[in-house]
A = this chain, B = another copy of it.
Amino acid sequence: MRRRSWWGWGWADAAATDAERAAVLARLPPGWARDPLPVPEIADLDLRPPRIAAPPALAAICSTDPEERAGHTYGKSYRDVVRALAGDLPNPPDLVARPRTEADVVALLDWAASAGVAVIPYGGGSSVVGGVEYRGSGHDAVVCVDLSGLNQVLEVDPVSRAARIQAGALGPVLERQLAGHALTLRHFPQSFEFSTLGGWLATRAGGHYAMRYTHIDDFVESLRVVTPVGISESRRLPASGAGPSPDRMFLGSEGAIGIITEAWLRVQDKPVHKAAAAVRFGTFDRALDGVRAIAQSGLDPANCRLLDAAEAAVNAGVTDGSCLLVLGFESADHPVDSAMDRALRLAAEHGGTYRRVSKQDDPDQPNAVGAWRSAFLRMPYLRDTLARLGVIVETFETACTWDRAPALCAAVRSEVGAAIERLCSGPGIVTCRLTHVYPDGVAPYFTVLANGSRGAEVSLWDEIKATASETLLRLGATITHHHAVGRDHLRWYERQRPDPFGTALRAVKKSLDPTGILNPGVLFD
């Protein structure tokens, strides 16, 4: 069986190649890359011994194996990777549990509540916001509950096009099963291979697509959630007006009030009609206008991803200083050419020049859309390589209304840029792309590269990120559009959250998790 990396992204055998590394280093200022940090041996980590033993009834599903514990200590953010590489794992889970059934989850929660053990729900472990890391001190021990064994598509309703799926299924695992019914969930976050349905639901994940069916929230017919006070199961419905939505309370609850074990989800036929195009704009602000026109047209492109000039250059081979809009339409039912024609006309009205990407294009032939797609999937592996070389490299994202977007993007560039210059003795690189668009706003996604300093990477990054977060909050944006709150965003989330809603949410937490065992430290201090 192919092994996951315990310290970094994805598969252990898929790390960036020498050629990939050379290519990315060639684009960085000289002097940023140091000798690569070695990856510690598990045996050298000297993990704190487990402070608790699993009760006999749960012993078969609980592990104290050091690689399991080390691999479940952190998520996969830059600061997680740097700490793992430094062998800095002072707070590993005492046990890693792998429930095989929902009854196992119930038994785990019952035991944990009675023993004062903190429970960290864990799907694919791809959190980049400290969502799966225990940072508290009020519990006698910590058990990480890895749900990836609950990975079956249990039922398919082809008439309503819906499927009952266990929460621990990784993206490819559930898509393979749905493909047997000629259906697809069509939810492809960048973490697709290494994140689970339950994780998507608990963090309100955004998929790859720019508009329409892309947020996991909108796919949910019903949820089944194990809470310490009982199982909550909502009715399968296409829509309901019966009180506040039960599902919307659990969506985004990040494991703090229950563990999602399964869900009925709206699935789709596979798209067969497709059209793609690459549009170039001379300036980012002109591009924003063009993208806004498309987003407000009701055409609902599947892809509408705008790369600023720096991203277009690095990731899509655009050499003329243009911004690049990757535009696409898809349908399982009808041709999409007229929608593409109209969208391109709107882009042209705002100064865009375009090239259609035809199906006949040789996939090996370089084109901006194809180049960007390949780069996209390799990005997390490259990030790990750069992290080993001592480069600070991370992303953050947000959303805001259109009226605020130009000023927000500019302020993030300049304020984060200034912070890097101050902290890292020299300028860094801040690039921006738009990952999702809406009729009323947009989700900008930023990538930061900076010259690191051995041993100080985490504190440097934390300061840079704090600057970014302050800028987002001040300019009316959200602290997160799809990465979740976790522990890293908590300070800003608490300021963003309306006070009475915070009061209500604390009351919910207290009522469903009275002993406070569930993912302590996320959503609440």
Binding site for B on A (CB under 8 A): 157, 159-162, 203-206, 215, 221, 225, 227, 229-246, 248-254, 257-258, 266, 268-269, 292, 296-299, 331-334, 338-339, 342, 399-403, 436, 438-443, 476-485, 489, 493, 496-501, 503-508, 510-512, 523
Contacts and interface: CB of A to CB of B under 8 A. Distances in A.
Contacts of A206: 239, 241
Given A298-B331, A298-B332, A299-B334, A501 B241 contact: no
A227 B501 CA distance: 10
Given A243-B253, A399-B239, A503 B512 contact: yes
B161 A439 contact: yes
B238 A244 contact: no
Contacts of A231: 500
Given A206-B241, A238-B441, A242-B480, A258 B500 contact: yes
Nearest to A252: B244
6 contacts: A161-B440, A205-B241, A230-B499, A239-B438, A241-B485, A298-B333
Contact of A512 (B157, B331, B441, B500): B500
A478 B241 CA distance: 8
A476 B20 CA distance: 54
B250 A254 contact: no
A237 B498 CA distance: 13
A297 B436 CA distance: 23
Listed from nearest, the 4 A-B pairs whose CB atoms lie closest are A238-B441, A507-B511, A248-B248, A238-B438
A232 B512 contact: no
A217 to B, nearest CB: 8
B241 A480 contact: yes
B403 A157 contact: yes
Contact of A241 (B160, B269, B342, B483): B483
A253 B292 CA distance: 33
A403 B160 contact: yes
Nearest to A221: B440
Given A162-B440, A238-B440, A299-B333, A246 B401 contact: no
Given A334-B299, A498-B233, A503-B229, A240 B161 contact: no
Contacts of A257: 504
A497 B403 CA distance: 39
Nearest to A238: B441
A476 B439 contact: no
Contact of A476 (B235, B298, B338, B480): B235
Nearest to A216: B241
A297 to B, nearest CB: 4
A160 B442 CA distance: 10
A512 B244 CA distance: 15
Contacts of A499: 230, 232
B157 A498 contact: no
B252 A243 contact: yes
A402 B225 contact: no
Nearest to A437: B238
A205 B240 CA distance: 10
Given A239-B478, A243-B254, A299-B333, 18 more contacts: A159-B403, A160-B401, A161-B296, A161-B439, A204-B241, A230-B499, A232-B499, A232-B500, A239-B436, A239-B481, A241-B478, A241-B482, A241-B485, A243-B485, A243-B505, A244-B250, A249-B501, A506-B511
A25 to B, nearest CB: 33
A67 to B, nearest CB: 31
A250 B251 CA distance: 15
Contacts of A439: 161, 238, 266, 268
A401 B249 contact: no
Contacts of A221: 401, 440
A104 to B, nearest CB: 19
Query: Residue among A244, A442, A497 with the most chain B CB within 10 A?
Result: A244
Contacts of A248: 244-245, 248-249
Contacts of A512: 500, 503-504
A295 B456 CA distance: 55
A252 B206 CA distance: 25
